[in-house]
Amino acid sequence: MSRTPAEIVAQCQNLPTIPAIALEVLRLSREENIDLKEIAGVIARDVALSGRILSVVNSAYYGLPRKVSTIGQAVVMLGMASVKTLALGFSLADTITSRGTAAGDLTSFWRRSLHMAVAARTFAARKIPILREEAFTAGLLADVGVMAMHDAFKRDYADLCAAPGCSHAGIVAVERERFGVDHQQLSLAMTEAWHLPELLTLPIGHHHDSETVGGADAMLTSLADVLRVATLCADVFCTEAQGDQIKAFETAAEACLGLDSESCRSLVVNLHADIQEVAKVLDIQIPESLSYAQIVQQANQELTRLNLQAQQRMHEAERSQREASERLEVLEESNRQLAQKANTDPLTGVYNRRFMEGFLEREIARAARFRRPLSVLFIDVDHFKQINDSHGHLVGDAILRQLAKLLGAATRDVDCLCRYGGEEFMLTLLETELWGATQLAEKIRRLVAAWKFKSDGQETPYHVTVSIGVAAMNPNRPVDKELLIQMADESAYAAKRDGRNCVCALRKRVSPLPETETPAASSASAGDARRR
């Protein structure tokens, strides 16, 4: 069963208590017809306390025009609220310090508490002057619940406070999640156990979330807002301030107290010096703080450094992206070249048989789907073996390279020219019917027959002829690529058998017609017509 904050506080063994004199001062201050001499008399009974109060009253922090020599004079000149605040502050400083390290890091505790107290008094003097001393007291006591958290949860809470990234601004939510209670709830329970007035206890119990005070009176709500802004101000001074902490503080100051950024900064311009003065008179040792202007300057410098780092990282990312893009381009080019090598005949530079078969299969499917014509030419160099045997393979290779260029120049970009194997070439003609394919085949045959092929180092040209077989696909009767190639191959074989240097379509000679053949061609014996 979970414990209430009051139960947790009651079970703690090492929490501070308010000395009898401070309690008596608090009791007297709540009476309606209080005699200031009576309060002065109670304080005067404690010589050490009286001396310390007179010391702070005569310090630069209060800036009185003349020296005060008695507690009675101090009560008259400062007012009962100020003297009450000093008595309570000195008493708590003594009793908390006497608890040693059991309450956690006392230096950090006092540093933060004094910043909150002085900041709260400063803002209250602007917002609610009549409660400036109560604001100081509330700020001084706001974090006493931290000591109760240390006492109740010991090592677990110490580890939480020491965890990387742990900040006072965000610790409340973590406390509630880990322990079911937070330090401001325990601060409220402790101050209620001391019988402090609600004017102090409620703002103390809501110093991180003043908006939750509820339907309290205006004075109490204003004091809660002052304490909340003082809490955020202490975050700036007591932690390694970042731009977001400064922004949170100044935003809250404007929202809760109506202070714009310039007014807010003017109020805290000497806050660091005031805090050192109060720490000195309370005999509390805390490290000196930077001024608010120096903190803002450091935060701006840090922001500038982070911006430069961000820009550097951005430039590095852009450079890395460019390098990656360049590497990708190189890789894509390499892949393109590899793909080209994989799809290209190394001797002639035209597509190879592997690429042609894939291309032809796709185009047959497209032509069948859209009912479009498609034709294939099978081109075979005549007597190529004799050329290799008579003149050597280098000459044969040169002829094949020149023939590939000649064929490429005679065809469209959308068509596909490939070296099918050896001295055989194949040309796939898109959107071309049998008649058009036959006309192109005859044009190619004439072009090759008239061309003067040359080889390096040879002045005498070589005359070469080709036999061409033509096949076409009927859009209404699709065929597969193997059958279409077979039809073109058989037509080319028919052209070989019919005397070479001619065109055959569907295994029949279509050009040149027999009566236009040259004597050499007509004298060729069909029996001598071997394909390769």
DSSP SS3 for 425: strand
HSE-up of residue 283 (Cα within 13 Å, Cβ side)? 15
* Whether the Cβ atoms of residue 70 and residue 42 lie closer than 8 Å to each other: no
For residue 386, what are its two tokens?
């004799």
510 CB neighbour count, 10 Å cutoff: 20
C-alpha angle with apex 129: 126 to 134, nearest 5 degrees?
Answer: 115
**Distance (Å, rounded) from C-alpha 413 to C-alpha 45?**
113
Tokens 């005031």 locate to 274
Question: Quick one: DSSP state of residue 374?
Answer: E
* Whether the Cβ atoms of residue 204 and residue 184 lie closer than 8 Å to each other: yes
Question: Quick one: DSSP state of residue 130?
Answer: G
**Distance (Å, rounded) from C-alpha 414 to C-alpha 485?**
19
Please choose, from the candidates 168, 145, 147, 136, the residue with its C-alpha nearest in 3D space to the C-alpha of residue 62: 136
* CA torsion through residues 242, 243, 244, 247, sign: positive
Helix axes 198-205, 132-141, angle to 10 degrees: 50
* Whether the Cβ atoms of residue 53 and residue 61 lie closer than 8 Å to each other: no
Q: How many Å separate Cα 283 from the centre of its chain?
A: 49
Could you list the active site residues?
423
